[in-house]
Amino acid sequence: MSTEQKVFAMERKDSLWCLMASTFWFGKTVLVAGATGFLGGWLVRRLLKYGARVVAIVRSQKPESQFFLESMDARVSVEWGSVDDEHLIQDIFERHPIDFFFHVAYGADVNRVLDEPLECFRSSALSTWQILDFLKNHRPQCVSVISSTDKVYGNQDIPYREAMPLSPLHPYEAAKAAQDIAAQSYGKVFQCPVAITRCGNYFGGYDFNLTRLIPGVVRSIMRGTPPVLRSNGRFTRDFLYIEDAVDVQLLLAQRLSKDPTLYGEAFNFSYGERLEVLDIVHRICRLLDAPFAPVVNETVTAEIPHIELSSEKARHVLNWAPAHGFDKGLERTVQWYREYFAQQRDDSDHLHDSRLLDQKTS
């Protein structure tokens, strides 16, 4: 099969998947914890596109999030509070006929977790345990997808496979591993319709954590300064473009609703490409036509040096294949940030000009 034929086949498969997904989700009532986060915003966006009724748990105002920037709060039922508040969860389920629950709260920010490790545990592990116990007793048909992380494997031989023992060390890894194991337990012991995703590093537009590699590098280049790396640049990571990440959440939920053999199962999702940080920086520089050499700081002390996931189980059991891939996802992401940072610069210049005009006329 030629390259053109492969691309056409992938696009046709993606179109069929979108049509089937749209039909499935239309009219469903879906609870999303973590709606103002990076993955949460994209998940809510897709669910609204497919015609689902979305209930979003929102802990606080977060103006710089896709959820609020795109006025999604006006299109969903917003429930203010914390995902680990048992009374809030009970109240939500009493007032809304929830069919599906996605727990995507508390994304990976290793520095934030070091400052508030107990909050990470509450939002991840404790909240999952409490909600799954509530569902077991009161809403056993509600399907749940719990977002774990590839970091739960710790520092083991790669590629990571689902049969490997979890070996967390960092507080974030430990909290997510506890969350992961709780979901496995409730799925396998109590036959709750719940499963777990363990994904590679997410990337894409609307990620406003600029300490992360891809948005941070694009911002540096757009400012005309060389990118600064926390590591020696030789760390390797496995990735998943954010729209592919949304696909896997929805795919797993759909399959869970029909197949009890998936209860309590964990699935890896990534491209299976072990990419060096320096290689990614060079790719971004080429996309932006920027001749910068990165500055290597080597200040990282708490991160796993090499991560790679095997998605063989997801491909075999769920028939999963990504719609985008790393290169296509990176192109889309860099273009999004190019436009975003350019708009920010234009807005800043406009504000500066307005202030000058005010000074001249005052």
| Known active-site residue 337 | no
What are the residues facing 56 on neighbouring strands?
32, 78
Q: How far apart are CA 152 and CA 169, in angstroms?
A: 8
Let me know the angle formed at the C-alpha of 348 by 347 and 349, rounded to the nearest 5 degrees. 90
Please classify residue 299 by burial: count the beta carbons closer than 10 Å to its beta carbon, then call 0-12 exposed, 13-18 middle and 19+ buried.
Answer: exposed
Residue 83: φ, ψ to 5°: -65, -20
Dihedral over alpha carbons 112, 118, 124, 129 (to 10 degrees): 180
Give the active site residue among 50, 106, 172, 263. Answer: 172
Other residues' Cβ atoms within 10 Å of the Cβ of residue 226: 17
Q: Please state the length of the chain.
A: 362
Q: How far apart are CA 5 and CA 127, in angstroms?
A: 46
* Cβ contact 38:61 at 8 Å: no
Residues in Cβ contact with 206 at an 8 Å cutoff, skipping those fewer than 6 apart? 38, 41, 42, 65, 66, 69, 242, 336
Q: How far apart are CA 77 and CA 65, in angstroms?
A: 17
The helix (run of H) or strand (run of E) holding residue 194 is strand 194-199
The one-letter amino acid at 308: E
In the chain, what is the straight-line distance between the N-terminal and C-terminal CA atoms, in Å?
A: 70
Q: What share of the chain is helix, strand, coil (3-state, %, to 5)?
A: 50, 15, 35
Between the alpha carbon of residue 44 and those of residues 3, 247, 255, the distances in Å are: 33, 12, 19
The helix (run of H) or strand (run of E) holding residue 33 is strand 29-33
| Residues assigned a catalytic role | 172
